[in-house]
Amino acid sequence: MKTILVPTDGSATADAALDVAIDLAQKHGAGIRLLHVLLRDKDAFDLLRLPDLATAGAEVTDTLDKLAQAPRVERLASDILAHPEAPDRPVPEELLRQIAAHVLRRAGGRAEARGVAAKALDVADGAAAPAIVAVAERDGIDTIVIGMRGLRQIEAVTLGSVSQEVCQKARCTCIAVHSPR
């Protein structure tokens, strides 16, 4: 075990996965790479539930508060069927990138506080599982430690979870971590 990829959406489940990855890195002398995939499928209300979001700054939280109170975007049935993951209150990309920077900074700080260096990779975009698998293959990752059912809990019931898909498709060791309740 040399390089551990930890995909993080900033949820408590992702934090639990990071803790496991840090333990493994300490035991095996491995490096940690942090990855965040933009949360385009989340609306402002979902993002406001991120742990420690207040430390991202008032600009981020105030904007999300306003977006969460805005009326839902009217969508045609054909659009809903074609893009069921699209949120009813979309969050602008610039704000998603600010949240991504916050999530990666926070995760890096958690690792550093335990004496483990964690390199944040460039933020990925697109469907989460394929993006994670692609980064793992591109960067020669030998272990992925991923949280089960982070911010995508409801979708996992009907569509399958990101962690399931990553574990099925990745060509390396995968460890899926349940969040403590």
Reported as a single tens digit per residue, the pLDDT across 101-121 is 999 999 999 999 999 999 999
Asked, for residue 86, whether it belongs to a domain, the answer is no
Q: Is the pLDDT of residue 55 over 90?
A: yes
Q: In degrees, to the nearest 5, what angle opens at C-alpha 51 toward C-alphas 30 and 59? A: 115
Reported as a single tens digit per residue, the pLDDT across 8-50 is 999 999 999 999 999 999 999 999 999 999 999 999 999 999 9
Region 71-86: mean pLDDT is: 86
Asked, for residue 105, whether it belongs to a domain, the answer is yes
Say which CATH number the domain at 154 has.
3.40.50.620
Asked, for residue 102, whether it belongs to a domain, the answer is yes
Asked, for residue 82, whether it belongs to a domain, the answer is no
Q: Is the pLDDT of residue 84 over 90?
A: no
Q: Using H for helix, E for strand and C for coil, what is the string for the chain?
A: CCEEEEECCCCHHHHHHHHHHHHHHHHHCCEEEEECECCCCCCHHHHCCCCCHHHHCHHHHHHHHHHHHCCCCCCCHHHHHHCCCCCCCCCCHHHHHHHHHHHHHHHHHHHHHCCCCEEECCCECCCHHHHHHHHHHHCCCCEEEEECCCCCHHHHHHHCCHHHHHHHHCCCEEEEECCCC
What's residue 39's pLDDT?
Answer: 95
Per mean pLDDT, which range of 18-22, 71-75, 145-149, 156-160 is the poorest?
156-160
Q: Which of 20, 42, 48, 9 is nearest to 144 (CA)?
A: 20
Asked, for residue 85, whether it belongs to a domain, the answer is no
Reported as a single tens digit per residue, the pLDDT across 154-179 is 444 434 689 999 999 999 999 999 87
Asked, for residue 98, whether it belongs to a domain, the answer is yes
Domain that holds residue 100: 3-41+92-177
Burial 68-105 (b: 16+ CB within 10 A, else e): eeeeeeeeeeeeeeeeeeebebbbeeebbebbbebbbe
Say if residues 148 and 7 touch (Cβ distance below 8 Å). Answer: no
Asked, for residue 170, whether it belongs to a domain, the answer is yes
Asked, for residue 157, whether it belongs to a domain, the answer is yes
As for how many domains the chain has, the answer is 1
What's residue 86's pLDDT?
Answer: 86
